[in-house]
Amino acid sequence: MKHLIILLLVVTFALPSCAQETQTNKQTTTYYFIRHAEKDRSDKTNRDPNLKQEGILRAAKWSLVFANIDFDAVYSTNYNRTKQTAQPTAEKQGLEVQIYDPRQLFSEAFANKTKGQTVLVVGHSNTTPAFVNAVLGTKKYENIDDNNNANLYIVTISPSGEKADTVLVID
């Protein structure tokens, strides 16, 4: 009888956590990808420029575009312009900007860490489409024109692994 009670207690407490874990693993993953906002180009030798005023305004605009999206994480490369683009959205969401290495896009570790989450990724004219392509598993998108800071790529991965994507221009 004592073993039966212990077994019932274990089953009672274990099943809800297993169900919750299964439910979490079944969620859709959604990635939002943007390129950094307009950077200061006044010093051609500066490899890590800040945003110029127009870029600061665009970064604030992105935070308004994303106001109704509940992000679980915000990622940026470790450059002033990308971090400054990500920061207004991260702050409004109560999140810290996490740094990713643009030389290691969509690794298995990143995929596992963000599975079932809604994530913003801020990159560059070459790394943003490359990251999207890596998630999709195909070379669909070319580098972004250097004067274009308005593309928004959205990629969703369903619980069954199906992928869908779209590109919007938010100007």
DSSP structural state of residue 157: E
Separation CA 163–CA 159 (nearest Å) = 10
Higher pLDDT: 129 or 13? It is 129
Place of tokens 């801020």: 122
pLDDT of 70 higher than 60: yes
DSSP string of 8-67? HHHHHHHHHHHHHHHHHHTSPEEEEEEE--PBP-S-TT-SSPPB-HHHHHHHHHHHHHTT
- In this structure, what token pair is assigned to residue 116? 């079932």
pLDDT of 37 higher than 50: yes
Q: CATH second-level architecture of 27-169? A: 3-Layer(aba) Sandwich (3.40)
What is the per-residue pLDDT for 26? 67
The model's pLDDT over 76-108, given as tens digits with 9 standing for 90+, comes to: 999 999 999 999 999 999 999 999 999 999 999
Name the pTM for this structure. 0.84
Mean pLDDT, range 16-32, rounded to an integer: 63
**Domain map (residue ranges) of the chain:** 27-169
